[in-house]
Amino acid sequence: MRPLLAVLALLASLGCGSLDRVLAVEPVDRVPALPLESSPSNAQLLVNGAIADFECAFGAYVVLGGLIGDELAESRSIGERKPFDQRTHTSRDRRYAVATCDSLGVYTPLQVARVSAERTILLLERWSDTEVAQRRMLVATLHAYAGYATLLLGEGFCTTVLSVPDESGAIVYGGEITRDSAFHVAESHFTAAIALAQETGASAVLNLAFVGRARARLDRGDLASARDDAVRVPSDFAHLMTASTSPVRRQNRAWGEERGEDIVTVGSFYRSLGDPRVPVTSQGRNGPLGAIFYEEKYPTAASPIRIAGGAEARLIVAEADIAVGTAASLANARSIIDAFRARGNQPALTASDAATLRAALIDQRRRELFLEGQHLGDLIRYAMPFTPTVGAAYPGGGAYGAQRCLPLPDVERENNPALRD
């Protein structure tokens, strides 16, 4: 096969949608190589392209995860989208697997973002500090983004595949791996980012990687190590996904699906919380599937979305302290949770037992991290009850299902030789 650099050069110049088109053409090895990756003078362009690929994929994940996880609901019945809102999605559904990120594709866009970052890391490691300004800081940045792409593939999918480019650029096809294995790979990316960020004094990248590694460790159940990372992050730190009014793939996807397309509405659980972190307004009208409510967290197409922040880190510290279960650790967890409750106009807790604190923590995560790509992973990790409940009538016909994670798509099994052996 022609080296993967041909595909990735196209990606950097055209965005994640290009891979969808490339995959639709057989054979892939006939894609002509482009010179973009041949010169270190293009390093920043390649880095920017990898970040842009992630941001678009992340926006789609926020919305699709919100539909499965009850933050959002469909307001119109669209056949390809119904299974996710209804929680009856299967590996045969194509939208999540191969659609572009501006059409709610998540699997291919996240894989594109991950491989684009990993491929650019390989290129940067071949070039010198003289050839590329701030080269090691750029490598640290891309390790952090590769870590987040891998993390989301672990959190949102039942299993995944991590095919990688080798030194020559050729694809090394990966086999099917568990969610926990994906978290380990994500953690390794964040660890690499931390080392390089500390070496270069890149504090913003360092904090991004600390939050990412804390989240990966939390997903793995290593709460003590997660806490060690989380306490290093300033409480006011925030790393945002950028957005703009055009082109469509750069728009805030939650805004686009809601106000731009009038396709989604806020899920019923979130409509009357009275929490300034979950601002919602009724539109005073109904769509085909029910009442229309708009979220106000992202009021424009250019509204950024938080990828990582000090608030998330504080919630991780609280969760780890609840797990320790000593009087001192429970008291610290309670103080953190009460601070978040105050932000949501909620009264302080009246009890400090572990069960009460855990339920309160989960509630604060729902509120503080609303529409930030966290809730689907939480729904799986905490085995949270569904809203609406399983078996309840779905307004578009049929009943709500119980499918949480996204299955490994059939298209991966059909096209990956490592899965056909």
3-state secondary structure of 330: helix
One digit per residue, the tens of pLDDT, for the chain of length 421 reads: 333 333 333 333 334 433 333 333 222 222 233 467 889 999 999 999 999 999 999 999 999 999 999 999 999 989 999 999 999 999 999 999 999 999 999 999 999 999 999 999 999 999 999 999 999 999 999 999 999 999 999 999 999 999 998 887 778 999 999 999 999 999 999 999 999 999 999 999 999 999 999 999 999 999 999 999 999 999 999 999 999 998 999 999 999 999 999 999 999 999 999 999 999 999 999 999 999 999 999 999 999 999 999 999 999 999 999 999 999 999 999 999 999 999 999 999 999 999 999 999 999 999 999 999 999 999 999 999 999 999 999 999 999 999 999 999 999 999 999 998 6
Q: What CATH code is assigned to 5-244+306-386? A: 1.25.40.390
Q: Cα(129)–Cα(260) distance, rounded to whole angstroms?
A: 44
> Residue 333: in which H helix or E strand, if any?
helix 327-343
Contact, 405 vs 156, CB < 8 A?
A: yes
Q: Which residue type is seen at 385?
A: P
Q: How is the chain split into domains, by residue range? A: 5-244+306-386, 251-305
Q: Which residue from 70, 67, 74 is spatially nearest to 290, judged by alpha carbons?
A: 74
Tell if the pTM clears 0.85, that is, is over it.
Answer: yes
